[in-house]
Amino acid sequence: MHQPYYKDLLTNEANLPWVRLHGVKDYLDMVQILEKFPKIHQTFNIVPSLFEQIENYTNDSVRDTFLELSYKEAKKLSPSEKHFILNNFFSINKDKVISNFPRYYELYFKKQKREEFDIQDYLDLQTWFNLAWIDPSFRSKFPELRTIISKGRFFTEEDKRLVLDKQITILREIIPDYKRSCAAGQIELSVTPYYHPILPLLCSSNSAKEANLQSLLPKSEFRYPQDAKIQIDTAVNFYQERFGMAPRGMWPSEESVSESILPFIIGSGIKWIVTDEALLFKSFKSKKRDTKLLYQPHLLKRREGELRIIFRDRNLSDLIGFVYHSWKAENAVADFMQHLDNINKAFKNEDVLVTIAMDGENAWEYYTNDGHDFLELLYQRLCDSNTIKVTTISEYLENHPAKSKIKHLSAGSWIYGNFNKWMGNYYKVKAWEWLLAARKELDEAGSRLSNQELQLALKQIYVLEGSDWFWWYGEDPEGSFDRLFRLHLCNFYSIIKKPIPDYLSNPLSA
């Protein structure tokens, strides 16, 4: 689970609300649902920059325009604020969410017909947008929310404030609940490098060629392996501070790996990492999908030490992530269990490790009831099985040491086994060139900055190294990630007291 770093370091404003909204819809219920199924042991991955932003909301150290306009009395909204609300407060799945609530659906069609909204319409829209994002389990858990849902329309300002206040209540429970479940032994928490960078590309942008010879490259090599090390080490430190122990596992951002990052991961004390099956088969130069290789842990024995590596079953992971949402829950679960049964038969009851590794948040809004029907039925069937044990990675490794050794780990990510998603078109490459120019400016400016300015400038650079900016370049229809990337870059030049380059005034994707 992760979100880009939305917070403006100079104004403390979150430019987009997705940390808060996914926080009340996805992060807490995903661990709480396991309380009903004690046999299910599961590994969750945390991204420190996401948890940092959640803490910003709970300690009131961030401004959120969406939240501020939600709290504002409907009768006091300016024309521009009304325009903003109309354009942004239907940002949730229309068919699986908005259509479930008659008044919200009515307002949606009213907007589509370009009919004029009155004050009550805006008040109801402010309320429904924030209420619909709250996970169904919490909408039923809190009696006050049940009352508001049954009311359906003609909300009061007090109703709206109650919904918004409940969002903060939910956000406050996230980190403590993960900590409790981890301490109880039902879940394991792995960690991702702090600001979710593509580590191999930080070590060298030429890694893109290692993964795909046809890849485009920046005019000059981006080569800051020290940044990759810091992103790893600060993530481990963040984890230790929040959870009172060192993490054993790491999910490299976007499951992006290469030989160059292994010394830093081993040096941080991490014991295992996870990536995609494509990198396993590339590493062994296997031309076919070999499940005997796939369904076991492997060992990376290097000069710096040893690291275990787990490879996910892409097919099974993607069925949950991208396919089953359009199926009835019973049929989807039956199909998934049949796949596991087929694996068991193929291996003649031999003990094998089948790894499902997937996005923890974005799939569920495409499912009925935010995925609860599917997950609860799946967990129950897994618990009832006589042939399946659901385990964390570290639990498995304790009893099943990795025997197979990988001499050279091929570079790539979970997407087609390469880095094209971050270095695959003109716009992505240009963004890397902008980042390199800024990083070189910091090398030159560092000695004349105060320690406070230097630390802020470094933080801004590490934010800019996050994967999402490059992911979306050339593929961002609304241009929101382009705006955020340029905002962070402009802030960087302000921090180091250098003129902001003219090219940052215009969208890169234009």
276-329 pLDDT, tens per residue? Answer: 999 999 999 999 999 999 999 999 999 999 999 999 999 999 999 999 999 999
345-361 pLDDT, tens per residue? Answer: 999 979 999 999 999 99
Name all domains of the chain by residue range, CATH numbers in brackets. 13-39+47-182 (no CATH), 192-405 (3.20.110.10), 425-505 (1.20.1430.10)
Q: Give the per-residue pLDDT at 510.
A: 56
Task: Give the CA distances from residue 86 to residues 97, 109, 127, 405, in Å, rounded to whole numbers and listed in that order.
Answer: 17, 12, 13, 56
205-261 pLDDT, tens per residue? Answer: 999 999 999 999 999 999 999 999 999 999 999 999 999 999 999 999 999 999 999
Round to whole Å and give the CA distance between 194 and 445. 24
Does residue 187 register a pLDDT over 80? yes
Compute the chain's Rg from CA coordinates.
24
Round to whole Å and give the CA distance between 290 and 463. 38
Q: Give the per-residue pLDDT at 476.
A: 87
Reduced to 3 states, what is the DSSP secondary structure of residue 427? helix
Residues 90, 129 contacting (CB under 8 angstroms): yes
Give me the long-range contacts of 493-500 (CB less than 8 A, separation at least 24).
493/438, 493/441, 494/10, 495/9, 495/10, 495/453, 495/456, 495/457, 495/460, 496/441, 496/442, 496/445, 496/449, 496/453, 496/457, 497/445, 497/453, 498/441, 498/445
Question: To the nearest whole percent, how much of the chain has pLDDT over 70?
Answer: 100
Round to whole Å and give the CA distance between 124 and 101. 12
383-402 pLDDT, tens per residue? Answer: 999 999 999 999 999 999 99
Q: Give the per-residue pLDDT at 355.
A: 98
Does residue 8 register a pLDDT over 60? yes
Tokens at 115, concatenated: 């009919």
pTM strictly above 0.85: yes
Q: Give the per-residue pLDDT at 349.
A: 76
Tell me the average pLDDT across 177-205.
Answer: 98
Q: 10 Å Cβ neighbour count for 12?
A: 11
Residues 454, 4 contacting (CB under 8 angstroms): no
Shortest CA distance to 359 belongs to which of 392, 333, 329, 320? 320
9-65 pLDDT, tens per residue? Answer: 999 999 899 999 999 999 999 999 999 999 999 999 999 999 999 999 999 999 999
Q: Give the per-residue pLDDT at 489.
A: 98
